[in-house]
Structures are given as structure tokens and as C-alpha cells.
Amino acid sequence: MSRCWLGLSIALLLAGCQSTHEQMVNQGYPPAYADGFQDGCSSGRQAAGLMVGDFRKDVPRYLHNRQYESGWDDGFRQCQAMQSSEDLRDYRERFWDERDREWQQEKDQGAARAYRRK
């Protein structure tokens, strides 16, 4: 079931001009769930280190409204995971690609030395 939510959240976050909240409501999600998802998603991004997101949680509503609670939890987990994944990809592109180039250069130089000796 969490894969379904992940797929939904990715589709919602990548969609056009509508906000995630509007799209969720238009797709039949309860407004309280969509409110919670939106707040949890912002909080999840912030927890993953993205300074753009704000930590938002309506604690009384979270404690007393099951739909808001579920939406907040789903939004938090999914957006935190997506942000962490993006950060890891960016890190790898920035640092590991450089290491790969260095390794390839060393390998090519070693091969050239080996061929020259013959």
C-alpha cells in the first residue's frame, strides 16, 4: 500500500499548476487527509535538510482527526524519502562522477604504460 502512496505523491508533486492539495481533493481524497499530506510533506522536506520546507503540524488536529494524521504521516515519509534520494543523487553526481573520471584516467594511463613496454 505504501508503494501506491509513493506513486501517488510523486505524480502529485510533478503535476502542473494545481497544488498537491487541490489535486488530491479532485481525485477524491478527503480534505483533511490532503491538508495533513501537504503539512507532512513540507515537514518531511525540511527534516531531510531542504531549507525551503517549513515544519508544519496542527498538533490538536493530528491528535483528534484520523484523516489528517494519516495524511501527515504519509506526506512526511514520502517527501522526506524523495528529498533524501534527490540529495544522494546530487552527491553522487558531484563527487562519485569525479572519482570515476579519476579512476578511468588512472586505468588508461596504466594501460598506456603497459603497451609502451612491449
Query: What is the number of other CB atoms lying within 10 angstroms of the CB of residue 44?
Result: 26
Q: Over 70: is that where the pLDDT of 5 sits?
A: no
Provide the pLDDT for residue 98. 66
Distance between CA atoms of 116 and 98, rounded to whole angstroms? 27
Q: What is the CA radius of gyration of the chain?
A: 22
Distance between CA atoms of 52 and 42, rounded to whole angstroms? 8
List pLDDT tens digits, range 7-52.
555 555 555 557 888 999 999 999 999 999 999 988 888 887 766 6
Distance between CA atoms of 107 and 112, rounded to whole angstroms? 9
List pLDDT tens digits, range 68-118.
999 999 999 998 888 777 766 776 777 766 667 777 777 777 777 777 765
Please tell me whether the overall predicted TM-score, pTM, comes out greater than 0.75 for this model: no
